[in-house]
Amino acid sequence: MCGIVGYLGGKEAMPILLDGLKRLEYRGYDSAGMAVMGNNGLDIRRSVGKLKELEQQLQTAPLHGTVGIGHTRWATHGRPTEVNAHPHQVGHIAVVHNGIIENYLELKKQLMGEGHTFTSETDTEIIAQLIYKYSSQGAGFLESVRQALRQVRGSYAIVVINAKEPRTLIGSRKESPLILGLGDGENFLASDVPAILSHTRRMVFLEDNDIVTMTDAGVEIQDLNGNSVTRPVTTITWSPAMAEKAGYKHFMLKEIFEQPRALIDTFRHRVNPDNGKIFLEEFHLTAAEVKNLKKITMVACGTSFHAALVGKFLLESMCRLPVDVDLGSEFRYRDPFVDPQTLFISISQSGETADTLAGLREAKSKGARTLAICNAVGSSIARESESVLYTHAGPEIGVASTKAFTTQLVSLYLIGLHLAKELGYRPPEQIRQDLQALFRLPTLLQEILDHDATIREIGQKYMKAENFLYLGRSIHYPIALEGALKLKEISYIHAEGYPAGEMKHGPIALIDEHLPVVVLATRSPVFEKMMSNIEEVVARRGRVIAVSEADNYTVMEKVETTIAVPETTLELSPILLVLPLQLLAYHIADLRGTDVDQPRNLAKSVTVE
């Protein structure tokens, strides 16, 4: 996810763009850049790393002009280098972009065949090249943008400036946010409200395929066919501080609600559901090397460790390879068996967790092949691994990990399918069906999010409990662990996740009328066993909160509370079932008044052992 901003008015653009980028930096901080229409045409500054690098560059080499665009990058295609930093300039055109252009490789090949030369590894450059091509062939600025956008597939929010029309700014969006800010004698474009809220409260939330043309005469919105479009003007009442949360009370809630988008951004450019093809270009083992693997070892901490536990079920079932999973803080102290025929997978949102990094180094010292599943481009774990599969969750601000977890699970699912295909365990038709199920998942998540108010009511009912128990079996057991961790780390209520089958070996002594017991009881090969566990708890007056299908009356008639979830495949069900548990933990913590985004004693990234 990146942050983009644009300005056209009477003031110096540089400070306005810089302020906007600062408020968008949470969206990504691998590189940053700015382009302004100066007296001698287009003037660009770009820098790798956080925004402060660009700020320092601008102090020594400022940009002067009253029309400009800015960008802060979260790398998807192309390493975080200056060449790959935005804005991308081609001749008299400069573009900033947030999104993923899925067909950029085929378009790039086509344009190179027409004699265009490319300078970056990014997908974004293809947009600048196409606009430049049509503009050079005589098309007007707006028409050039329109023709270019008709060629691309994928998601985009772009802002474009043109040295041939220095008092014009053009923006457009498809599946990535772009907001138009209306000022007095000046107008703004940005990825998010916070970037421009200090200049205006009058916002237009552009919709897919809108193209906005900004000049000193004002703004005009059209669709891709050139038809004029009218959009309502919204007056924002948020304070700038609130706006960074886009109106959500906490970053954690915003990130829970971002999960459908985060999943799409993680899988969409890596699969083709029509023909079952999977493109994990970042995975550098050849088919022969995959066939030579004898085992998989996964190491992680906290929520990422729970993702690894789900991964064990997925990978053993899909790839018929033994998978062992260990905590980062334990792995390196047991002289683990790892060798060149081991695929070592580290999972980490931050890419800086010391215990996980130490495990990676231990595995490398024993010759293992290494793959990282990581949400931070250029982080230590990503850099020190041979292959990296980035989760495109975007920066996760809340200490309690949510969208990083579900995108980790999607990444494990993709790796499992890829390995199963390479090893011949899953025929193309099955993989095609698996990918179709994956494409349906974001909509199913949204269905649960649409019932958030119901889960808040359930939170009100149980918020005063002093202990919770979470039970799950098989592939849902790690979700029971994750649900308990979410609750305990933000509400400070003691909560324990447990394999449901273990209840009779001790924990059943805890059951009484004061104890809420969250049970994951959807239709699965172990459903009957889960029903027995529910009976055991109910017989001892335990208060069962069941997560189950809306039409699962067998469960509903037995328990005190049911949280309904839609149906999906068993392999994808952990991604669905964790969502109500995230929301339940959030609402109970919010109702108890704890600091949800920065719980006591915790830090977002544990870079110490």
Active site residues: 2, 604
Contact between 90 and 129 (Cβ < 8 Å): yes
Residue 324: half-sphere exposure toward Cβ, Cα within 13 Å: 11
Query: Does the footprint of ligand AGP cover residue 303 (CB under 6 A)?
Result: yes
Least CB distance from residue 485 to ligand AGP, whole Å? 6
Q: Contact region for ligand AGP (CB under 6 A) — 45-53, 245-253, 258-266, 393-401?
A: 393-401
Binding string to ligand AGP for residues 587 to 606, with x set by CB under 6 A, is what?
Answer: ------------------xx
* The one segment of 156-164, 234-242, 399-407, 517-525 that binds ligand AGP by CB under 6 A: 399-407
In this chain, which of 42, 400, 479, 578 binds ligand AGP, going by CB under 6 A?
A: 400
Contact region for ligand AGP (CB under 6 A) — 40-48, 274-282, 344-352, 539-547?
344-352
Q: Tokens 């999972």 belong to which residue?
A: 347
- The CA distance from 402 to 417, in Å, is 23
Structure tokens given for 269: 């450019």
Q: Which of 155, 304, 406, 548 binds ligand AGP (CB under 6 A)?
A: 304
Closest CA to 275 of 437, 432, 424: 432
Q: 298 with 325: CB under 8 angstroms?
A: yes
Residues 521-550 that bind ligand AGP (CB under 6 A): none
Q: Binder to ligand AGP among 44, 48, 93, 399 (CB under 6 A)?
A: 399
**What is the CA angle 427-526-458, rounded to 5?**
110
What CA dihedral angle connects 81, 84, 90 and 96, to 10 degrees?
-120
The identity of residue 39, as a single letter, is N
Binds ligand AGP (CB under 6 A): choice among 95, 127, 193, 301: 301
Cβ-contact 473, 500 below 8 angstroms = yes
CA quadruple 242, 246, 247, 253: dihedral sign: negative
DSSP 8-state code for residue 541: T
Which of residues 144, 348, 548, 562 is near ligand AGP by CB under 6 A? 348
CB of 605 to ligand AGP, least distance (A): 5
At its nearest, how many Å lie between ligand AGP and the CB of residue 326?
Answer: 14
CB-nearer residue toward ligand AGP: 13 or 301: 301
List 349, 380, 385, 411, residue binding ligand AGP (CB under 6 A): 349
DSSP summary character for residue 285: -
**Nearest residue (CB) to ligand AGP, 561 versus 605:** 605
Q: Which string of DSSP letters, residue by residue, matches 444-473?
A: HHHHHHTTHHHHHHHHHHHTT-SEEEEEE-
Nearer to ligand AGP, 273 or 398 (CB): 398
Asked if 15 and 199 count as a contact pair (C-beta separation under 8 A), the reply is no
Nearer to ligand AGP, 71 or 250 (CB): 250
Among 122, 135, 356, 406, binds ligand AGP (CB under 6 A): 356
Which residues 471-500 are close enough to bind ligand AGP by CB under 6 A? 489
Shortest spacing between CB 256 and ligand AGP, in angstroms: 12
Amino acid of residue 67: V
Interaction of residue 401 with ligand AGP, rule CB under 6 A: yes
**Residue in 70, 302, 416, 580 binding ligand AGP, rule: CB under 6 A:** 302
User: Which residue has the CB atom at the shortest distance from ligand AGP?
Assistant: 302
Three-state secondary structure of 374-433? ECCCCCHHHHHCCEEEECCCCCCCCCCCCHHHHHHHHHHHHHHHHHHHHCCCCCHHHHHH
User: Shortest gap between Cβ of 401 and ligand AGP (angstroms)?
Assistant: 4
Site residues (vs ligand AGP, CB under 6 A):
301-304, 348-350, 353, 356, 399-401, 489, 605-606
